[in-house]
Amino acid sequence: MTAAASARQILTRLHEVMAGRTHAQYKLDRVVEIIAESLSSEVCSIYLLREGALELYATQGLNPEAVHVTRLAVGEGLTGTIANNIETLNLAEAKAHPDFAYRPETGEEQFHSFAGVPIVYRERAVGVLCVQHVDPRRYEDVEIEALQTTAMVLSELIAHKELVDGESVIDLEISHVENDILEGLPLVKGLAAGQAVFHQPRIEIDQVVAEDVEAERQRVYRAFDKMRDQIDALAREPEFGKGGEHVEVLETYKMFAYDEGWSRRINEAIDSGLTAEAAIERVQQRTRMRMREIDDPLLADRMHDLEDLSNRLLRIVSGQLGTAATQGLRRDTVLFARNLGPAELLEYDRRRLKGVVLEEGSLTAHVVIVARAMGVPVLGRVSGLRTRVAEGDEVILDADHGTVTLRPNQQVLEAFETRFARSREKQAAYAELRDVEPFTRDGTRITVMMNAGLRDDMSALAMSGADGVGLFRTEFQFLVSSTLPQRDRQMRLYRDVLDAAGDKPVIFRTVDIGGDKAVPYLDTAVAERDENPAMGWRALRLSLEREGLLKAQARALLEAAAGRSLSVMFPMVSEPWEFDAGKKVFEDQLAFQRDRRRQVPETIRYGCMLEVPALADMLDVLLPKLSFVSVGTNDLTQFLFAADRANPKLAERYDWLSPAILRFLARVSRSFVGHDVQLGVCGEMGGRRLEALALLGIGYRRLSITPAAVGPIKELVRKVDLGELTAQMSGWLAAPPPDMRGALQQWAGERDIEVE
Ligand code: PEP
Ligand code: MG
């Protein structure tokens, strides 16, 4: 018998039982009887989650006295393991499994084989359905699938209270434990309070069992058509016509969308009696379970794509489209998501978005950089979001200490308020440094600039007292826009930025699109699925090839800075010729403007980012050509360590204070001696006190950092004796201490320099 036929047979029989006006316990007893019989098993049992433990609610084959007596903690025994890991177990010999726990009251010692599936409700296991058999044999795939489909139906019946008595309360909802604390990695420090909102609202599947199988099939067909149209429309974008690697990537995506196997499996699930939504979810669940078993990261990535498509299909079929941003935030909010793109974050209302909690995330992912610029604290690498957080929960985010407290009680709230007030006082103290110039104790003026990317960021210039904007990320305008910003729109932004900066300098970096900064209207949407997007077709590489894009930007910048001074910086320069080519686009546009007797900037300074290690070995060739270089340590370190900056698994792996990085940066700084070229750092590293200390000690005198760090870094600078620090750092670089971070921390502590 096929899996579908076997599941449908069970569902039909379950339906009959449900239709009867009988007692809930009687129904449960009938359910286990039917399943045991259909799967030719001596035993079938249902455990449900009650008061935090899995309680045996019904059994066919085990000792009936054990019903409502046997209770297992989540994580205890095979049943507890299934619930804990939300996984299926299929064992020929149950006792051989390391998690097997024997319960004498059940009388299960005579049974050898065991198979169990979780009963999942809202991504949490609320029970376990299992079968056992005397013979030591693994259950067939069709049997496991029938069991899984049945578990899905049971979950719906339980949710609708059709299988349990009113007084027997199953823990369907997340237990509302007060002061439940989740831990994570602080990505943007700060404190926040608000209500929990999930970025992707959960898709509610109201009905699991189909009333009309054919109608459900048609709904899925229509949803597939729509999804394929969307993918095809993406492929028709003019950019995709040109060939190249990104076309292949899209082809893979398309291959999934048209994958016969996938649609067939969904169809089979519909055949077994499920609704369109339940069938998609059912197949997705199975994919997820398979994913757990496959230990191949490449395949896992592909599965991830498939899961994305599956979500898209589910959204289309259920008509539940959009994110929390499109629905609008109603109160102060702490946002929860697996991960976010920078553009997705920018869609949120800045006034209401107080904090972000991510399952993934890393310090230099662009979404984190954007959040930092917005002053929104972020905690990353937090697990258990879907199982412990409920939409609307009150939440306190302490991204200084790496915790998020769910449902805080009054006492915790009050303690938080006190800390919040103290942190505001500290901010006020930094504000007092606004007009104080940052000189070291031995009299060296350090230039502290800020990074920006949006019009709104410019207000921070006056508030922080930064010396100017050392990095204006022009791609942010592209990220927040749904269409390619035209030249005059770009020009207006640049002009406003220069107006807001007044006498202070602004360095405009030409667009750095690609990598994790994908925009939907350019082919970089595909680069997101590029195998190595950060090393792919991005930044200046893309701009030089799409010359129209760079020309328009050059014109916009030249026009905006007419009669003033303009500083232009190129991102991701890997070889000196790329700088020459970028500069030529600007010089050609300048000549064009001059020919037309248009007003042009009084002066133009050109510079580039140093974020590709290869460029460090070409500085003798490069430096005579330009006015400034800014080291982008975010990209540079990912390339030095061959460690993807956006990969959460590597988030804590490499340290900016490792001797390899510091030696590299010191070598770069030495290459500038004798050249009249400004050298600075504009990566996130410069905004962290301990790291900034190290940079000062190896020759860096210009930092461009996130606005919130300007005050703390100024305060740091004023406490440092640069001569002493430089001597210490050069000693450490010659003979690195085993723990550079620890050594520097101790050095700072001894001098009363606050570095946290
Ligand atoms: C960097 O790479 O350090 C940098 C400042 O650029 P971005 O973070 O925008 O890639
Ligand atoms: Mg960079």
Query: Tokens standing for 374?
Result: 């917005």
Ligand 1 centroid vs 142 CA: distance in angstroms? 51
Ligand nearest to the CA of 364: 1
Q: Identify the pLDDT of residue 620.
A: 96
pLDDT at 239: 44
Q: Residue 181 in 3-state DSSP? A: strand
Tokens of 12: 């039909």
Report how far ligand 1's centroid is from the alpha carbon of 632 (Å). Answer: 5
Determine if ligand 1 sits within 6 Å of the CB of residue 369: yes
Atom of ligand 1 nearest to the CA of 364: 8
Cβ of 365 closer than 6 Å to ligand 1, yes or no, is: no
Q: Please check whether residue 505 is in contact with residue 538, taking contact to mean a CB–CB distance below 8 angstroms.
A: no
Q: Residue 25 has what pLDDT?
A: 86
**If you write DSSP's letter for every residue of 209-234 in order, what string do you get?**
B-S-HHHHHHHHHHHHHHHHHHHHHH
Residue 144 near ligand 1, beta carbon < 6 Å: no
- CA–CA separation, 701 vs 630, rounded Å? 11
Using only the alpha carbons of the chain, give its radius of gyration. 30
Cα 252 to chain center, whole Å?
Answer: 23
* Contact of 514 with 533, CB cutoff 8 Å: yes
Best residue among 472, 516, 570, 609 to mutate for probing ligand 1, ranked by most atoms within 8 Å of CB:
609
Ligand nearest to the CA of 372: 1
Residue 634 Cα, ligand 1 centroid: separation in angstroms?
A: 5
CA angle 705, 469, 504 (to 5 degrees): 135
Determine which residue's CA is closest to atom 1 belonging to ligand 1: 632
CA of 572 to the centre of ligand 2 (A): 7
- Integer Cα distance of 460 and 706 in angstroms: 10
The one-letter amino acid at 324: A
Looking at residue 29, what is its pLDDT?
Answer: 92
Torsion region of 708: left, alpha or beta (phi above 0 gives left; psi -120 to 50 gives alpha): alpha
Q: Is 530 in the pocket of ligand 1 (CB under 6 A)?
A: no
CA–centroid distance, 265 to ligand 1, in Å, is 44
First to last CA, the chain: 65
Give strand ranges (E) for 478-564. 506-509
Q: Going edge to edge, which strands form the sheet with 180-183?
A: 180-183, 403-406, 394-398, 191-198, 333-337, 353-358, 378-380, 185-188
> For residues 20 and 158, what is the distance between their CA atoms, to the nearest angstrom?
16
pLDDT at 301: 54
Nearest atom in ligand 1 to the alpha carbon of residue 634 is 3
Sign of CA dihedral 159, 160, 163, 164: positive
Distance CA 81, CA 86 (A): 8
Q: Atom of ligand 1 at shortest distance to CA of 451? A: 5
For residue 366, give the ligand 1 atom closest to its CA.
Answer: 8
CA–CA separation, 196 vs 396, rounded Å? 9
> pTM score, two decimals?
0.66
User: Ligand 1 atom closest to Cα of 682?
Assistant: 5
Residue 165, pLDDT score: 66
Task: Give phi and psi for 415, each to the nearest 5.
Answer: -60, -40
Which residue in the block uniquely carries the two structure tokens 């129904």? Answer: 27
Q: State pLDDT tens for residues 623-673.
A: 999 999 999 999 999 999 988 877 777 767 788 999 999 999 999 999 999
Pocket test residue of 538, 540, 635 for ligand 1, highest count of atoms within 8 A of CB: 635
Atom of ligand 1 nearest to the CA of 635: 2
Token pair belonging to 533? 């997007």
Residue environment code for 243-262, b if the CB has 16+ CB neighbours within 10 A, otherwise e: eeebeebbeebeebbeeeeb
For the chain, residues with pLDDT lower than 70 are 1-4, 165-176, 234-253, 288-305, 307-308, 515-516, 520-521, 523-531, 651
Nearest atom of ligand 1 to the alpha carbon of 471: 5
- State the Cα–Cα distance between residues 331 and 236, nearest whole angstrom: 40
Best of 366, 451, 507, 611 for a ligand 1 pocket test (most atoms within 8 Å of beta carbon): 611
Three-class SS of 707-720: HHHHHHHHHHHCCC
Nearest residue (CA) to ligand 1, atom 10: 635
What is the 8-class DSSP label of residue 754? -
Instruction: Please tell me the distance from the alpha carbon of residue 203 to that of residue 156, in angstroms, as a whole number.
Output: 14
* Ligand 1 pocket, residue 633 CB under 6 Å: yes
At 179 the pLDDT is 87
